[in-house]
């Protein structure tokens, strides 16, 4: 029976090829555009989040109590050296932790012979940062590392532009040490990086953590510990369990450190949902029109079928099958085009370097790698099915209210 | 006229198609008009913030200062420059500033930031510094070691009005400069980064401690007509000569302007995706209606109506529908745009994101520009007309006998 129903539905669709093709094309093109939009926009947002996580916050960041409000060295995480603290042991033995790094941050002033700016000085262990957030991949000039003497510094590209410094240029860092004395150190620029994390690019200076310890007079302790998790679904659980073990520390998730990025993600999802609703609402209207006309122009045919004993359920199945055929064909064509385009942009990226300075203004990468999420297709499929079923329902209601004899006698 | 009558009657006869087409057309137009007003409004707000809060409409610097912002490329004879600039027609006033990055220190705490010498009276006209006062008092020209400090910077240094702040920095001659300052007033512009790193002194006193008398890092020009900043900047550049560089806000904020354009491009791409679906739906409905009237069209052809006349009737029908829907949608969009122009939309809870994009307030007005509204209506009218062309041309290709017998 289902074969016959499908054949009838197919025959009806083929009879009006142009309009059937138009509906399929409509769903295909709209879905194609929608999938591209979702994948590219999500890619942009996720890249911004990833840049912030990799270059700064990790999935979780640990700070001394009160340090976030008042970033002073005496509010750092106190304890032994990097690997000998309770914290280090704890993190090294946690199977959920992919990597962690300790940093020593201090606000200060960076100066050349002619110009000075405020800066955030961050003492890091370059080898650990390499494993932790692939910091070396952000390098656009120079070498990753601080040289044999450790007297190198890696600085943000915007800061380098403003100070007019290049690789090898001498810079003077001034900051307050642990004893509240203003201290200075001369270093040379060994690398320039572009993270698209606006704070770092505009005012970040990375120096060797051992040099930072001497410079700031901090023998033990860290101002920030950044943790990368193996599975980002466990971030909140890890946060609460660490908070239980280390009640004296402030433990923040990346979205608590960068609320604007989380808002961007939420806003982007809401925006996608609204656009999807509008597109599928409009597409549903298109399918509805075609099915309505298709039913009305065959109303005598349906009247005769009802008069010779065909059950209404069978006619309903034929109409719904027609509607579904249109919807599913459009969905498949749109998903194929959209999926292939997204796959292309996932591999090669969407290169908008033409607008690179505009992207920098927003702290975004000029090359966006698309994201493909199964939920795009599942949501689209559900929406198409709902739209097609609703589109078929109303013409069927009209048909149901009519009596076969009236329909047959209609001129 | 007869053809118009027929077209009009057809529009009334096929009510359902007309209503759906008009609804879709009107909704699309309203959406486009309002989206444009929203995008333009938020962009104008960002630019206004950027220009009016501090950076100014026209900036004059030393010729090489932008490329190499060192004290070697300052404005060295500000008084002469000022007299030349103020003589240019269209210049309302000129105000010099001297910016220097210093280390602020309070008790055991030190924070890097910008210390700028300003003319307090002139700043009232060229920036929103005075209007952003939240505590204490604004500066006067005769103030000595009185500091006007950003609220976030004051919080970071943990100081209030009357508290002492020490600074260490470089004077204009690269000598060591330091002084004890007293907080006279606190301001909050809403631009987080700016409020977290800026403080101001009256320029006469600043010049004394920084050895910058008759010097400035840059000067701000306030044009009489803000719309003509670009042409005025060019006129000033001609007068002051190659020693100086004059840039309008369009140049100093070129990256921001480009990012606005990019944002608009993404906005219009999203609208285009929605409009594609609408375009197809209108095309489908037109196709359904003209095919339902194929016999009628065949008979008209058989009794002597030319294909050109049929084409005209069908295009007139689409034009009537398009015109009515664009007018209704344009009006609807314009009403919303005007309402939110008068009563800006408030986005509470989105402050963090606004900070990131340099918006000083979470209330954003839409732009209400009749020319843009008419432009959007025209675009939608053309699109609506185009969407009906294919079905109209297709049906017009039928021979009369074919059309009459079409099932």
Closest by Cβ to B353, choosing from A260, A275, A289: A260
CB–CB contact B255 A358 (8 Å) = yes
- Distance (Å, whole) CA B244 – CA B237: 7
Clarify whether residues B309 and B350 are in a common domain: yes
Instruction: Report if residue B251 sits inside a domain.
Output: no
Closest by Cβ to A290, choosing from B101, B102, B284: B284
Instruction: Report if residue A255 sits inside a domain.
Output: no
CB–CB contact A118 B280 (8 Å) = no
Instruction: Report if residue A276 sits inside a domain.
Output: yes
Residue where the block lists tokens 């906005």? B267
Clarify whether residues B45 and B109 are in a common domain: no
pLDDT by position in tens, chain A (length 411): 678 878 888 888 888 888 889 889 999 999 999 999 999 999 988 998 998 898 889 999 999 888 887 788 888 887 644 444 677 888 888 888 999 999 999 988 898 877 788 899 999 999 999 999 888 999 999 999 898 888 999 999 989 988 889 999 999 999 988 888 889 999 999 999 998 888 889 889 999 999 999 999 998 888 999 999 999 889 999 999 888 888 888 899 999 888 878 877 888 888 888 888 888 888 888 888 888 888 887 888 888 888 888 888 888 888 888 888 889 999 999 999 999 999 999 999 998 887 777 777 777 788 899 999 999 999 999 998 998 888 888 888 888 888 878 777 765
Rounded to an integer, the average pLDDT of B257-278 is: 84
Cβ atoms of A196 and A212 closer than 8 Å? no
Q: At what angle do helices B254-292 and A259-297 cross, to 10 degrees?
A: 10
Closest by Cβ to B276, choosing from A30, A111, A116: A30
Its pTM surpasses 0.95:
no
Query: Using one digit for the tens of pLDDT, what is the confidence trace for B162-210?
Result: 999 999 888 888 888 999 999 999 998 877 778 888 999 999 999 999 9
Cβ atoms of A327 and A387 closer than 8 Å? yes
B280 CB within 8 Å of a chain A CB = yes
Residue B64: φ, ψ to 5°: -105, 5
Question: CA-nearest residue of chain A to B156?
Answer: A70
Instruction: Report if residue A402 sits inside a domain.
Output: yes
- Distance (Å, whole) CA B295 – CA A368: 53
Query: Using one digit for the tens of pLDDT, what is the confidence trace for B63-89?
Result: 888 777 778 888 988 999 999 999 999
**Cβ neighbours of B156 in A, within 8 Å:** 70
ipTM of the complex: 0.75
Clarify whether residues A123 and A29 are in a common domain: no
Clarify whether residues B153 and B43 are in a common domain: no
The DSSP code sequence of B174-188 is S-EEEEEEEEEEEE-
Residue where the block lists tokens 């307030």? B361
Question: Residue B358: what pLDDT?
Answer: 54
- Distance (Å, whole) CA B187 – CA A279: 47
- Distance (Å, whole) CA A260 – CA A49: 10
The DSSP code sequence of A120-142 is EEEEE-HHHHHHHH-GGGGEEEE
Instruction: Report if residue B373 sits inside a domain.
Output: yes
Range of the domain at B227: 64-241
Instruction: Report if residue B58 sits inside a domain.
Output: no
Query: Using one digit for the tens of pLDDT, what is the confidence trace for B279-325?
Result: 888 888 888 878 888 888 888 888 888 888 888 998 998 899 999 99
Clarify whether residues B114 and B139 are in a common domain: yes
Clarify whether residues A279 and A238 are in a common domain: no
**Cβ neighbours of B267 in A, within 8 Å:** none
Q: What percent of chain B has pLDDT over 90?
A: 41
B173 CB within 8 Å of a chain A CB = no
Residue of B284, B387, B391 to mutate when probing chain A, most A C-beta within 10 A:
B284
3-class SS of residue B287 = helix
Q: Give contacts of B 75-114 with A, CB under 8 A.
A: 100-103, 105, 107-114
CB–CB contact B103 A358 (8 Å) = no
Cβ atoms of B98 and B208 closer than 8 Å? no
Clarify whether residues B45 and B84 are in a common domain: no
3-class SS of residue B158 = coil
Boundary residue ending a domain (B216, B241, B266): B241
* Number of independent structural domains in chain B: 2
Clarify whether residues B158 and B14 are in a common domain: no
Instruction: Report if residue A253 sits inside a domain.
Output: no
Boundary residue ending a domain (B241, B266, B295): B241
- Distance (Å, whole) CA A240 – CA A352: 41
Instruction: Report if residue A180 sits inside a domain.
Output: yes
Instruction: Report if residue A397 sits inside a domain.
Output: yes
Closest by Cβ to B111, choosing from A107, A355, A362: A107
Q: Residue B97: enclosing H or E segment and its boundaries?
A: strand B91-106
Average pLDDT over chain B reads 87
Instruction: Report if residue A60 sits inside a domain.
Output: no
Clarify whether residues A91 and A211 are in a common domain: yes
Range of the domain at A172: 66-247
**Cβ neighbours of B39 in A, within 8 Å:** none
Long-range contacts of A6-11 (CB under 8 A, 24+ apart): A6/A321, A6/A325, A8/A318, A8/A321, A9/A318, A9/A319, A9/A321, A9/A322, A9/A325, A10/A325
Question: Residue B212: what pLDDT?
Answer: 92
* Number of independent structural domains in chain A: 2
Clarify whether residues A95 and A237 are in a common domain: yes
Query: Using one digit for the tens of pLDDT, what is the confidence trace for B363-400?
Result: 788 999 999 999 999 998 998 899 888 888 888 888 88
Clarify whether residues A267 and A371 are in a common domain: yes
């Amino acid at each position: 029976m289902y074969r016959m129903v499908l054949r009838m539905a197919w025959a009806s669709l083929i009879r009006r090829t142009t309009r059937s093709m138009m509906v399929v094309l409509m769903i295909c093109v709209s879905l194609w555009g929608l999938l591209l939009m979702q994948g590219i926009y999500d890619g942009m947002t996720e890249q911004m989040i990833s840049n912030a996580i990799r270059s700064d916050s990790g999935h979780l960041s640990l700070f001394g109590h009160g340090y976030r409000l008042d970033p002073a060295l005496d509010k750092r995480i106190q304890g032994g050296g990097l690997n000998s603290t309770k914290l280090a042991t704890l993190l090294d033995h946690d199977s959920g932790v992919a990597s962690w790094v300790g940093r020593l941050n201090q606000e200060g002033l960076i100066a050349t012979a002619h110009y000075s700016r405020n800066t955030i000085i961050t003492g890091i262990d370059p080898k650990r940062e390499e494993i932790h957030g692939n910091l070396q991949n952000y390098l656009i000039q120079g070498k990753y590392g601080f040289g044999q003497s450790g007297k190198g510094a890696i600085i943000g590209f915007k800061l380098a532009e403003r100070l007019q410094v290049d690789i090898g240029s001498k810079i003077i860092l001034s900051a307050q040490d642990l004893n509240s004395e203003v201290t200075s150190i001369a270093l040379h620029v060994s690398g320039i990086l572009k993270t698209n994390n606006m704070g770092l690019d505009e005012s970040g200076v990375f120096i060797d953590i051992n040099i930072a310890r001497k410079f700031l007079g901090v023998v033990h302790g860290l101002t920030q510990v950044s943790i990368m998790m193996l599975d980002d679904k466990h971030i909140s659980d890890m946060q609460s369990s660490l908070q239980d073990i280390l009640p004296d520390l402030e433990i923040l998730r990346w979205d608590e450190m960068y609320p604007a990025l989380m808002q961007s993600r939420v806003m982007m999802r809401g925006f996608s949902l609204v656009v999807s609703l509008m597109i599928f609402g409009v597409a549903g209207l298109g399918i509805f029109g075609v099915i309505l006309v298709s039913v009305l122009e065959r109303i005598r045919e349906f009247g005769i079928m009802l008069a010779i004993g065909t059950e209404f359920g069978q006619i309903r199945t034929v109409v719904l099958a027609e509607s579904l055929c249109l919807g599913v064909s459009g969905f498949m064509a749109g998903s194929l085009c959209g999926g292939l385009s997204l796959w292309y942009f996932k591999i090669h990226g969407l290169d908008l370097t033409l607008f690179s300075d505009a992207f920098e203004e927003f702290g975004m990468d000029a090359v966006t790698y698309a994201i493909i999420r199964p939920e795009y297709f599942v949501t689209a499929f559900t929406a198409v099915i709902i739209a097609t079923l609703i589109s078929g329902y109303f013409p069927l209601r009209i048909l149901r209210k009519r009596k076969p004899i009236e329909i047959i006698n209609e001129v | 006229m007869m053809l118009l009558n027929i077209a009009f009657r057809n529009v009334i006869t096929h009510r359902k198609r007309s209503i759906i087409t008009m609804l879709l057309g009107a909704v699309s137009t309203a959406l486009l008009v309002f989206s444009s007003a929203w995008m333009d409004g938020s962009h104008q707000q960002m630019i206004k913030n950027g220009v009016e809060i501090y950076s100014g409409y026209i900036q004059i610097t030393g010729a090489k200062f932008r490329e190499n912002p060192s004290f070697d490329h300052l404005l060295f004879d500000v008084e002469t420059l000022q007299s030349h600039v103020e003589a240019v027609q269209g210049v309302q006033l000129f105000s010099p500033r001297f910016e220097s990055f210093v280390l602020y220190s309070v008790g055991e705490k030190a924070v890097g930031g910008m210390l700028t010498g300003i003319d307090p009276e002139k700043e009232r006209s060229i920036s929103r510094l005075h209007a952003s006062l939240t505590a204490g008092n604004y500066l006067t020209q005769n103030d000595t070691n009185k500091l006007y400090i950003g609220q976030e910077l004051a919080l970071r240094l943990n100081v209030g009005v009357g508290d002492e702040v020490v600074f260490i920095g470089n004077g204009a001659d690269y000598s060591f400069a330091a002084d004890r300052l007293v907080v006279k007033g606190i301001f909050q512009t809403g631009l987080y980064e700016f409020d977290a790193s800026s403080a101001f002194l009256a320029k006469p006193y600043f010049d004394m401690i920084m050895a910058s008398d008759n010097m400035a890092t840059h000067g701000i020009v306030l044009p009489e007509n803000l719309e003509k900043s670009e042409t005025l900047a060019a006129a000033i550049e001609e007068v002051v000569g190659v020693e100086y560089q004059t840039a309008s806000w369009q140049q100093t904020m070129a990256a921001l302007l480009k990012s606005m354009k990019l944002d608009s491009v993404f906005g219009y791409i999203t609208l285009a995706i929605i409009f594609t679906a609408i375009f197809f739906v209108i095309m489908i409905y037109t196709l359904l209606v003209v095919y339902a009237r194929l016999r009628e069209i065949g008979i008209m052809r058989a009794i002597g109506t030319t294909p050109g006349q049929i084409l005209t009737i069908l295009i007139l029908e689409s034009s009537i529908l398009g015109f009515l829907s664009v007018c209704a949608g344009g009006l609807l969009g314009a009403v919303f745009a005007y309402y939110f122009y008068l009563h800006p939309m408030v986005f509470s809870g989105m402050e963090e994101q606004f900070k990131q994009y340099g918006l000083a307030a979470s209330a954003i007005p839409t732009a209400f520009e009749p020319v843009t509204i008419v432009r959007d209506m025209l675009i939608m009218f053309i699109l609506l007309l185009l969407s009906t062309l294919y079905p109209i041309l297709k049906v017009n290709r039928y021979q009369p006998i074919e059309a009459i017998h079409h099932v």
